Structure 1
Amino acid sequence: MTSITFWFDVHSPWVYLASFRVGDIARKHGLPLRWRPLHLPRLLDEIGGVKPLEASPQRVAWFRQDMRDWAELQGVPLRQHPRYPLRNSRALRACILAEDEGRGEDFARRVLRGYWAEEADITDLDQLARWGGEAGLEPAAVKAAAVSETLKERLDANTREAIARGVFGVPTVDTGSRLYFGNDRLDLLDIHISQGKIPIA
């Protein structure tokens, strides 16, 4: 293993929570981390996956409680957007540009914070451009990326690749030999790398 992949979609509160830790775990072990956006609704449709907010009222109530509990445990703000779910495609296309430019983590984390802590509109091109500037990107390039057909095709390709890798939800960390699904599996990832269960090349 010479790098690890973080499959994500900004739609997921669990991705937001994981975004605070996954980069630090990779850096702790000297591993490059690839931030690979996928289109979660499309992935779930393709594989017949579980859509948490379409589950029973009891499960949805538990899901929301668990989300709040983890945010409190991690000491981070979390507020579900009043218009959730917003369309995610523009933000995800811009995330591909950011990763290409070596700013994937900074930009994705800024978008996630805007969506999950500030109730910001991730579909707004000017907002995405401003966040891009904060992350060290050219704002005009972010705006163009958000509506790029080429990056739409790459996002579709990412989603297909994730499905082929066995990904069934996000956040998922892919080591090449193992998948670690969920914010609550990051500790296990860290332990397994430390124990040599996932060899580092």
Structure 2
Amino acid sequence: MPQINYYFSVLSPFTYLSGLRLEEIAAKHGADIQYKPLDIMALFARTGGTPPKDRHPNRIDYRMQELVRAATKTGLPMNFNPAHWPTNAAPASYAIIAAANAGGGDLGALCHSVLRAVWAEEKDIAQDDVIAQCLVAAGYEASLINSGMLTGAEQYGRNLEEAIDAGAFGAPFYITDGDARFWGHDRLDDLDAHLSGDL
């Protein structure tokens, strides 16, 4: 079974705009997804990236145009200046890690629900009630918020180190078990073609 290591940030607009396409591609090819939320600002700092707020105005303007185009193409609702961004990504990321360890729900739906909360629903994903709603909607127990904090924190740190060691530098970043690397929601077609043997 092919494996896809999926490095992402729950704050990333481009991760949100990937929707559930990764899950659809994985199902098509019988691939297993390893969900690896990470600290995107730490990843930028370690790999030569710049936080969005510190970029040159030309890059900031272009990023916004890209977001508008991508949202239009995907049809996903999006607030381009959400009320709770940036926020503390750690609690929701820990909950995703706890859910992955617990099993029994839909991890892809959970991740997308958290991202949708930021980019379409004007919710603060650092708040326990918001995280609980996302967990329950995806088939998990709300109690995972509290039960996996230590393990989640440790794995969150390891995910960052793994991402750097594997060659990731942004989010979303998809890496196959054959070390084929794909950066960005707009590279999902390439990932699909790669898994088909066409690329």
Which stretch shows the higher mean deviation, 59-68 or 75-84? 75-84
Query: Which residue of structure 1 aligns with residue 38 of structure 2?
Result: 38
How big is the alpha-carbon RMSD for the aligned residues of Structure 1 and Structure 2? 1.5
Structure 1 residue runs of 4 or more that deviate by more than 3 Å after TM superposition: none
Give the TM-score of the pair, scaled to structure 1: 0.91
Query: Which residue of structure 1 aligns with residue 185 of structure 2?
Result: 183
Query: Which residue of structure 2 aligns with residue 96 of structure 1?
Result: 97
Tell me the secondary structure at the aligned position of residue 36 of structure 1: strand
Alpha-carbon offset, residue 82 of structure 1? 2.1
Tell me the secondary structure at the aligned position of residue 18 of structure 1: coil
Note closer, same or farther for the CA distance 1:5–1:19 as it changes in structure 2 (3 Å cut).
farther
Query: Which residue of structure 1 aligns with residue 69 of structure 2?
Result: 69
Query: Which residue of structure 2 aligns with residue 124 of structure 1?
Result: 127
**1:119 aligned partner, one-letter code:** E
Which stretch shows the higher mean deviation, 101-110 or 68-77? 101-110
Distance 1:130 1:143 in 2: 14
Tell me the secondary structure at the aligned position of residue 174 of structure 2: strand
Query: Which residue of structure 2 aligns with residue 47 of structure 1?
Result: 47
Number of residue pairs matched? 195
Alpha-carbon offset, residue 97 of structure 1? 1.1
**1:158 aligned partner, one-letter code:** N
Distance 1:7 1:156 in 2: 12
Query: Which residue of structure 1 aligns with residue 24 of structure 2?
Result: 24
Confirm or deny that 1:156 pairs with 2:157: yes
8 Å CA contact 1:125–1:143 kept in 2: the answer is no
Identity of aligned residues (%): 34
Note closer, same or farther for the CA distance 1:129–1:194 as it changes in structure 2 (3 Å cut).
same
8 Å CA contact 2:84–2:118 kept in 1: the answer is no
